[in-house]
A = this chain, B = another copy of it.
Amino acid sequence: MTLPKLTKLELQIMEALWTRGEASIREIQESFPEMKRPAYTTIQTTVYRLETKKAVRRVKKVGNFHVFEAAVSRNAAQRRLIDDLMALFGGRTQPVMAHLIESGKLTLEDVKEAEKLLRQLERKDKLK
């Protein structure tokens, strides 16, 4: 059972659920910056679709509205995004890194941090 592919809007909705834990359609809608807030029913339809994809589930009903929560973790969803991108690059990280650097998004600190993480991981691997 692989986790579904999520679109941009779907991800924004998931983001609201991930940060809040639970939310109603209205709350999700209001989490969008006022200037680019889709109609209530747009959010609703998309949440329903997420439900069909098993990315979201309803947890309870309060008053006359339902409360939803994420059924897939942020981590898994993000991993999926990155894996998909990497597949487009034939799994090679080098071009990706190069682009990140050229565009100035990757700083020396980021890289140092990454290096630390890697060394930690290495140690852990040795233990087993």
Footprint of B on A, CB under 8 Å? 8, 11, 78-79, 81-83, 85-86, 88-89, 91, 93-103, 105-108, 110-115, 117-119, 121-122
Q: How far is the CB of A123 from chain B (nearest CB, A)?
A: 12
The binding surface of chain A is classed by DSSP as helix
Number of copies: 2
CA separation between A106 and B99, bound complex, in Å?
Answer: 15
Residue of B nearest to A98 (CB): B117
Q: Which listed residue (B88, B101, B103) contacts A114, Cβ 8 A?
A: B101
Q: How far is the CB of A73 from chain B (nearest CB, A)?
A: 12
Residue of B nearest to A115 (CB): B111
A–B pairs, 30, beta carbons within 8 Å: A11-B88, A78-B95, A78-B99, A79-B99, A81-B85, A82-B96, A82-B99, A82-B103, A83-B103, A86-B100, A86-B105, A91-B105, A93-B100, A93-B107, A96-B100, A97-B114, A98-B114, A98-B117, A101-B114, A101-B117, A101-B121, A102-B121, A106-B114, A106-B118, A108-B115, A108-B118, A108-B119, A108-B122, A111-B118, A112-B115
